[in-house]
Amino acid sequence: MSINGRSFRNALGRFATGVCVITRSTADGRNVGMTANSFASVSLDPPLVLWSIQNSSDLFADYTAAGRFAINVLALEQAHMSHTYARKGDHLLDPEHCKPGRHGTPLIRNALASFECDLFATHPGGDHTIIVGKVRDLDHRPTGKPLLFSAGAYGELH
Ligand SMILES: Cc1cc2nc3c(=O)[nH]c(=O)nc-3n(C[C@H](O)[C@H](O)[C@H](O)COP(=O)(O)O)c2cc1C
């Protein structure tokens, strides 16, 4: 059976997720962020997480290079950051949105959780590449609602 692209997207959209901004300091010194909802936990020992990036992304080389990145889980009131860092050509981090992490990675201020990772592995995944990170440090706050994403729209937990 051949899979219709529209149906595939619509069916995938029924899986509700949180929303993250993946942050990184690039080799040429830019602080960048990209909105992603492909985040998943992988392993507890060692502590591994993953997300996937479109191979066609302008930031592909930056995010697949060896080094550190951070996965920041957005709170409900941070939906504007999800919009901002999903815009093509607009990935430079607003200094007001971030703070320095303990290991040199920019982190999103007031995120529900931030995972500072070393690039552990990349795996081919069709038109995306799976990026596996080894968590070096983390930070989380116990209060605050997560920003949800489902069927192409943002939502909240009730
Ligand atoms: C809620 C949401 C989730 C997204 N998740 C991903 C993702 O997991 N991986 C990805 O490569 N792009 C994802 N995107 C798209 C990127 O944020 C962004 O639109 C895209 O990277 C823009 O193209 P550029 O990377 O060439 O600038 C998502 C966008 C939104 C709004």
User: Model confidence over 54-92: pLDDT tens digits?
Assistant: 999 999 999 999 999 999 999 999 999 999 999 999 899
In the chain, the DSSP E strands lie at 17-18, 20-25, 31-36, 40-43, 48-54, 68-73, 98-100, 106-108, 113-125, 128-140, 148-150, 153-155
Ligand 1 atom closest to the CA of 38, numbered from 1: 8
Say what the pLDDT of residue 10 is. 97
Task: Read off the tokens for 46.
Answer: 């060692």
Q: Which residue CA neighbors atom 20 of ligand 1 most closely? A: 86
Pocket test for ligand 1, best of 12, 21, 24, 37 (most atoms within 8 A of CB): 37
Say what the pLDDT of residue 1 is. 74
Q: Which amino acid does the sequence have at 78?
A: Q
Q: Which residue CA neighbors atom 15 of ligand 1 most closely? A: 86
Say what the pLDDT of residue 60 is. 98
Ligand 1 binding pocket, CB closer than 6 Å:
19, 34-38, 51-54, 57-59, 82, 86, 88, 91, 149
Q: Which residue CA neighbors atom 23 of ligand 1 most closely? A: 88
pTM reported for the whole predicted model: 0.97
Q: What is the mean pLDDT of residues 15-37?
A: 97
Task: Please report the domains of the chain, with CATH numbers, ordered by start residue.
Answer: 14-148 (2.30.110.10)
- The pLDDT confidence band at residue 17, using thresholds 50, 70 and 90, is very high
54 C-alpha vs ligand 1 centroid, how far in Å? 8
Asked if residue 111 has pLDDT above 80, the reply is: yes
Q: Which residue CA neighbors atom 21 of ligand 1 most closely? A: 57
